[in-house]
Structure 1
Amino acid sequence: MASVLGDDIDILAKAKRALAADYTPSEDEEYMSDKQLNYFRVVLLEWKKSILTAAENTLQNLQDGPIREADLNDRASSETDWGIELRTRDRQRKLIGKIDSALRRIDADEYGWCDKTGEPIGINRLIARPIATMTVEAQSAHERREKISRDD
């Protein structure tokens, strides 16, 4: 599971590096200015493009042919690897939905504001997680409520 999260972080980091030479948002600027919104739009679009490219590569590898290892242990290992790969792609498919939602919020001038409190999410949090919809405090409270209701 850690490597799946690592893959998402690597893809996002590559998208940010591609833009870092041009501009990086800071706390000193007007919050959610046109320049900041454009930065996050480009980061989200690059992130989505990278995910779709990785998915195309997986699909191509699946179409290239079935697993044909003669040894049962090798075959089981290969099938396990494919299972992990497919779960990763399914997780990233869901991530694309969150990216699309963030892009819609940018278009509606709602991006960067907490869904629960209406307060600014914060530039540093959005740089770290561009699909964030809540402040750290609201997210923590949400997770605590979720944990309590699961324990019941």
Structure 2
Amino acid sequence: MYPENTSHRPAEQTVTIHQPTPITPYPAAPAVPLQPGGVPAVASVVLPDGRVITGYAIEHNQAEPVTAKPLVSRAAVNIALGGIGFGAVCGGLVLLTTFIAALAALVQQLVILAAVIFGGFIAVQILTAGRRQGATTVNIRKAVIKRNHFHH
């Protein structure tokens, strides 16, 4: 069945059998006496196939009710309200700067108007002073003051 060449023959398979190691049973845990009021009630349940299962009733611990978390965190609400407030303040600041600029322009115009009116008043006084009829002209010459008397 195999050719003469032995290099192609399959190696013989060796079977190793492992025997399981026996588990030594642990000694039973010592029984702890329970308080008389702490013994749970024994309950029996009859299954539909007629078997009866007897055991201790276990009371399930009631979990504390979970408070519903808000859909949006308080930090996000505070950030949004801060942004709205900042936007309102910025709008007010824009209006305030516009008002200040308008007030400055008004003050500038009033100063220019006062300068024009006052300058015109001075110019009229100077120009009309030489044209008045009956005006007294005083020529001041060298005067000598001797012994508290004015001599000219």
Q: Same fold (TM over 0.5)?
A: no
Q: So what's the TM-score if we normalise by structure 2?
A: 0.25
Q: Which has the higher strand share?
A: 2
Structure scoring higher RCO (CA < 8 A, sep ≥ 6) equals 1
Q: So what's the TM-score if we normalise by structure 1?
A: 0.25
Query: If you compute each CA radius of gyration, which structure gives the higher value, 1 or 2?
Result: 2
